[in-house]
Amino acid sequence: MPESRKPPEVRELFIDALLDKVEEERYPSLSMLDLIEHQLRPDEVEIYVRVLLRKVRHDRYPSIPMLRRIAELTQ
C-alpha cells in the first residue's frame, strides 16, 4: 500500500509497539531501533530519545552504540 494511503494510526501503532519492546528489553536489538528511527517524524524524536535515555540511566555500563545513537539524534 502506498505511503499516502496508509492511515496514520497504523504507523503510530507500529511505533508504539516497538517502543514498548524497547522499554521491556534490557538490550533492544539494533534492527528494532533502526526500524523505529526510520519511521519517526521530527516531532516524535524527543519521545524516542527519552525512552533511550531511561535505558541508559538504569544501566551501570551503558552501551557505547546506544550513547552514540542518542548523541546523533540530539544534534
Mind listing the pLDDT tens digit for each residue in 47-75?
999 999 999 999 999 999 999 999 999 99
Binned at pLDDT 50, 70 and 90, residue 2 comes out as low
Output the pLDDT for position 3. 57
Calpha distance 63→50 (Å, rounded): 16
Give the residue-averaged pLDDT of 35-40: 95
Tell me whether residue 51 is exposed, middle or buried, using C-beta atoms within 10 angstroms of its C-beta: 0 to 12, 13 to 18, 19 or more.
middle
